[in-house]
Amino acid sequence: MVSSNLNQVTAVILAGGFGTRIRHLLPNLPKPMAQVAGRPFLEWVVRYLAKQGIHNVIISTGYLAGMVADYFQNDPVKGITTRCVAETVPLGTAGGFLNAIQANGQAPAAWLVLNGDSLVFAELASMIRCLSESEVQGVILGSAVPDTARYGSLVRSGDGALIGFAEKRPGAGVISAGVYLLRHAVIERFPTGAPLSFEHDVFPLLLRQGVRLSVVEIDAPFLDIGTEETFSKAEGFIRQNLSRFYV
């Protein structure tokens, strides 16, 4: 049983990408470390987690990993235990996650996985409540959007279980917000090898194995800073939502 207060959850923030689409805006800087409203965007992600009640955070790093590690060593968020684990080669989203938790050696009741270059202001307790059902092994946060052409969409059953992933196409739908809550025990079912993607490798295999993954749909502010257009909105997005962060 996983408690509903998130104390038994350790978060893994995936921050290892190269950020090629906005590299020209951030020379010699990892994308999640972009300065937004006076702090690195990645720090805002950590402060959001702290506000939600999560106090153990692992950051999976890659490109310019030392810069991220030095920052959080020198300027830690008060009350948050933060450890950085670097990839030596690109491992993909799921591969980076596995590398981080294996290096950390913890076995919490559940792992929260999220991206270091995006924020969605969901109440994470709604995800953990799904794990009170013993048959549910993982939860994917879904965000309703008017057009799924950029993202692809989640395919669900009538009771909210994940069935699969639809290809990118125009029209409204529910997309993955890139936030996953996984029981520790389900990790032994992950495929081997690297690189590994959650949506292309891990989740399809789990579904074939009959593992139940639930989708929690939310209607909450969401932003990723992966393009020049969305990055330009980050400053206002953070400042309009300061109450959602631990300060």
- pLDDT, position 145: 85
> What is the residue whose two structure tokens read 């800073």?
225
Q: Looking at residue 2, what is its pLDDT?
A: 62
| Residue numbers in the chain where pLDDT is lower than 50 | none
* Per-residue pLDDT, 86: 97
Please write the tens of the pLDDT for every residue from 182-222. Answer: 999 999 999 999 899 999 999 999 999 999 999 999 988 99
225 domain-assigned? yes
- Whole-angstrom Cα distance, residue 197 to residue 91? 8
* pLDDT at residue 239, as a whole number: 97
Please report which residue ranges of 56-195 form alpha helices under DSSP H: 65-74, 92-104, 125-130
Question: What pLDDT shows up at residue 200?
Answer: 92
Question: Residue 88 gets which letter from DSSP?
Answer: S
CATH (domain of 172): 3.90.550.10
Cβ-contact 10, 81 below 8 angstroms: no
DSSP for residue 90: -
Number of compact structural domains in the chain: 1
pLDDT score, position 18? 67
- Give the residue numbers spanning the domain of 201: 9-244
Is residue 2, in this structure, part of any structural domain at all? no
DSSP 168: P
> Is residue 50 situated within a structural domain?
yes
Exposed, middle or buried by CB within 10 Å (0-12, 13-18, 19+), for 246? middle
In a domain, 72, yes or no: yes
Helix (H) or strand (E) holding 235: helix 234-239
Q: Write b or e for each residue in 45-71: b if 16 or more Cβ atoms lie within 10 A of its Cβ, otherwise e.
A: bbbbbbebebbbbbbbbbbbbeebbeb
> In this structure, is residue 1 part of a structural domain?
no
pLDDT at site 233: 97
Nearest alpha carbon to residue 48 among 227, 240, 220, 241? 241
Please report whether residue 3 resides in a domain: no
Predicted pLDDT of residue 22: 77
